[in-house]
Chains A and B, each alone.
Chain A
Amino acid sequence: MTPELGYAVTVAALVLAVYGAGAGALSAAKGRPDLRASSERAAIGVWLLLTACMLLLVYAFLTFDFSVRYVANNTNRGTPFYYRITALWGALEGSIILWGWMLSLYTLIVVGRYRRTQPQLYPWALAVMLGISSFFLLVMTIPAPPFERLSPIPADGRGLNPLLEDSGMITHPVALYLGFTGFTVPFAFAMAALIIGRTGDEWITITRRWTIIAWYFLSLGLLIGGWWSYHVLGWGGYWAWDPVENAAFMPWLTATAFLHSVMIQERRRMLKLWNLTLIILTFSLTLFGTFLTRSGIIGSVHAFTQGSIGIFFLVFLALVMLGAFSLLAWRIERLRGRSELDSIFSRESAFLLNNLFLIAAAFTVFFGTVFPLLSEAVKGQKVSVGAPFFNLVNIPIFLALIFLMGVGPLIAWRRASAENLRRNFLLPVAIGVVGAALCRVLGVGNLLVLLCMGLVVFVAATIALDFWRAARARRRTGDGWLEATWGLALRQNRRYGGFVVHLGILVIALGVAGSQAWSTQTEATINRGASVELAGYTIRFDDLQPVEESNHFKVVGTFTVSDRRGPYTVLTPAKKFYPQEQTPIAAVDYRLGFMEDLYLVLGDFARDGSHATVKVQINRMISWLWIGGLILTLGAALAIVPEPRRTAARPRPDHVVVA
């Protein structure tokens, strides 16, 4: 019964979405408010029906309804109930439901937020969003139906991919998809602006806000993905330049470029054409990422499955890109403004360079990702492009971006005077040089790491200098330090949110540099009771225990670790054997630290427990990635907070003592 009901609901949602998109477009073109209201009701209906779809599928998972093929493929009777809920997005079909549902939610928010305030742009934006929803519902109806019936009904299901049985998998896809789908809103408003030919300020304000929101979620998704990779996959890394990771990283790069170049448009009315291009590219790249992960045209550890779904995505991607760029070309005369730079030494030029580097990074990532295809098409050879290529090309680009991060926010608009440069940069450059020299004295030998450290210190100094000056200015008006700081952060939340994001990136950069340069590892086969030593740690192999879990069998090793001061901890890495998997899965055990993590992976072992192979990694400064990520997301959140109205000055409380 569930399969048929689910399918009926999906088809109903598809019909409603197509109708809503058509009615929305017609109402926008002819200015008919009755159709517009009808289109809004359709948007609400689509959301309700998709919510029903999700609930129905969750219900099927919770009740082990193996007549639904998707349930049988992604769960079995041993799967714990919380993973039965998250199995909803554990594979292709369910992830499309989640995608569609989030899109319908964003559509509802757009309806609620802009129905009255944006009478011109809003109807077209609504039509575009419902059109995109229609596509995802079409995918749910034809190439990837989540409610497909399975017959005969098996006694038990296949089970969830064991690697997905992790808390990271509960949150990572949600954040990532909120980011991906979030970019639909700026895209829809960009299309609306192009269609009606109003490419002025309203478009920019709405688009900027929604791009930050989507960017926030995408960043969060990437970070949780890195954390999942680090503590589940057991290779001690957090980023592998895998095609699917790249697919999520590319829209992040172009969205970051947009968030910077949009400031030039707000301030100087330049780069309209460029900003629209970036929005179209960002949205297209989210589709490209979905296409890549679901078409199977490029091999990847994350890839879902193959089938006709790839064709659907490619056709839609072609429609979106050709349609959007044709619209852009059609409006080209309105978009070409005056675009001369006043001087090389100006904020405009710093931001342009920033855009150039971000786009270069996006392009190299794209090129590396599709190169295997290109090579096969042109030379007929299967090749794979790995981390060495991406690192080689991207490290210089990212170092340059960090440098610009210090320059951009402080250099003057239009034309920076020698005085402006001296005032803002002399001290930070000096501090950066001293910082790098200090690192050298402390024993950092790697030139790239030294450069990175110097740049990070330089940028941190520019931020500190700016903040100190601004806070001092506020203090002159009588605020205390704390109040001055808070006041600044809230009053100029975009500027200081941006600074906080920059600080987060700096911390992440240190984490990347440190972990690449100073991590160390060893692998040893040791007898029970014997030890292996690495970097001051002594790891003793004590015991091996078999444990039967609800859906798998595991062998748990016990290792007692002591450091130079004495006993430190007991780690219990394991090897899990799932009946449906060919190879056992390593369950890592670790102790996270501020400067270094101890990370143990259990390898082969003797069945009688007499000896075992263990991989010991000392991963340095990995925690900085997570701390930096936290700072970054806080900064993005600060930038999203609506700016307070600047009219009424808040009366200062009397009890604040002026120090």
Chain B
Amino acid sequence: MSARALRWAIPLAVVPVLALLAYGFRTDPRDIPSPLLGKPASPFALTAFDGKPVSLDALRGKVVVVNFWASWCVPACYDEAPSLERAWQAYRERGVVLIGVNIQDKEEPARRFLAQFRHTFPNAPDPSGRVSVDYGVYGVPETFFIDRQGRVRFKQVGAVTDELLKLQVEKLLAEPA
């Protein structure tokens, strides 16, 4: 090859490699869709921190949001905590139920977390970890949106925001009962 051609060929040779790596940003190796989407949500019955029973079966016909959290989950669970309480206040009148499931945690810090954010929606510990296994929870926080037929319709990995809660809940509320 002539020197002139090489002058162009050498730097250009790296372009395809860089392009491939840039393509990598469009994909997420961890983004494996949850097999639970569209399937009936598995039932659970837990006892909340305030002693009242919390059961999914009793809520059939309502839109339910199940949020898995832990007190040590810094910072995502702390970031989303105010949004959850706001959503509860905004939608409880419209028949939406929010349930917090506290997993892999100790009771005392969990209660402190609830007190810090003044959560008023039902929150229950999952001491055996069975509920989180049934829902395939990989890390906290994860939030599941369940429609009136009791099917899982959306799963959020990581902190939820006001906008996301509003979008998903409104969508499910708009569906006929």
Contact = CB atoms under 8 A, between A and B. Distances in A.
Contacts of B10: 325-326, 328-329, 332
Contacts of A325: 10-11, 13-14
A318 interface: yes
B109 interface: yes
B174 interface: no
Nearest to A306: B28
Interface in B103-132: 104-106, 109, 112, 116, 132
A156 B74 CA distance: 9
Interface string A574-589: 0000011110000000
B29 interface: yes
A580 B141 CA distance: 12
B104 A76 contact: no
Given A297-B29, A322-B11, A580 B22 contact: no
Quick one: which of A154, A336, A374 has the most chain B CB within 10 A?
A: A154
Nearest to A277: B10
Contacts of B13: 325
A297 to B, nearest CB: 3
A580 B20 contact: no
Contacts of B25: 295, 297, 310-311, 314
A299 interface: yes
A293 to B, nearest CB: 13
A152 interface: yes
A373 B71 CA distance: 37
Given A156-B72, A156-B109, A333-B3, A321 B28 contact: no
Contacts of A314: 18, 21-22, 25
B5 to A, nearest CB: 10
Given A157-B74, A332-B6, A298 B24 contact: yes
Contacts of A580: 70, 72-73, 104
A416 B24 CA distance: 49
A579 B106 contact: yes
User: Which secondary structure characterizes the binding site on chain A?
Assistant: helix
A322 B23 CA distance: 18
B14 A374 contact: no
A330 B70 contact: no
A329 B132 CA distance: 58
A340 to B, nearest CB: 17
Contacts of B105: 579
A592 B110 CA distance: 43
A651 B55 CA distance: 92
Interface residues of A, number: 47
Given A322-B14, A372-B29, A582-B139, A72 B23 contact: no
Interface string B31-58: 0000000000000000000000000000
Contacts of B73: 158, 580
Contact of A373 (B7, B20, B75, B137): B20
B75 A72 contact: yes
A150 B78 CA distance: 10
Contacts of A72: 74-75
A69 B75 contact: yes
Contacts of B28: 296, 306
A400 B31 CA distance: 40
Interface string B68-82: 001111110010000
A326 B10 CA distance: 7
Contacts of A328: 10
Contacts, number: 107
A329 B70 CA distance: 56
A374 B20 CA distance: 7
B30 interface: yes
Nearest to A327: B11
A66 B74 CA distance: 10
A297 B21 contact: yes
B160 to A, nearest CB: 18
A85 B139 CA distance: 26
B104 A579 contact: yes
Nearest to B27: A376
A326 B11 contact: yes
Contacts of B9: 329
A303 B78 CA distance: 24
B101 to A, nearest CB: 14
B153 to A, nearest CB: 24
Interface in A336-365: 336
A240 to B, nearest CB: 16
Nearest to B22: A314
Contacts of B75: 69, 72-73, 150, 154
Contacts of A412: none
B8 A373 contact: no
A572 B132 CA distance: 30
B74 A329 contact: no
Contacts of A288: 21
Contact of B72 (A329, A382, A579): A579
Nearest to A154: B74
Given A76-B72, A582-B104, A332 B21 contact: no
Quick one: which of B20, B22, B74, B112 has the most chain A CB within 10 A?
A: B74
Contact of B20 (A76, A296, A332, A377): A377
A145 to B, nearest CB: 14
A370 interface: yes
A111 interface: no
A653 B29 CA distance: 67
Nearest to B8: A329
Nearest to B4: A332
Nearest to B13: A325
Given A295-B25, A297-B21, A314-B18, A332 B7 contact: yes
19 contacts: A73-B75, A156-B72, A158-B72, A158-B74, A288-B21, A291-B21, A295-B25, A296-B28, A314-B18, A314-B21, A321-B18, A329-B9, A370-B20, A374-B20, A377-B20, A579-B104, A579-B106, A580-B70, A582-B138
Interface of B: 3, 6-11, 13-14, 18, 20-25, 27-30, 70-75, 78, 104-106, 109, 112, 116, 132, 137-139
Given A297-B27, A299-B30, A332-B10, 10 more contacts: A69-B74, A152-B78, A154-B74, A156-B109, A158-B74, A291-B21, A298-B29, A325-B13, A329-B11, A370-B21
Closest 6 pairs between A and B when the two form their complex, measured CB to CB: A297-B24, A299-B29, A329-B7, A329-B10, A325-B11, A158-B74
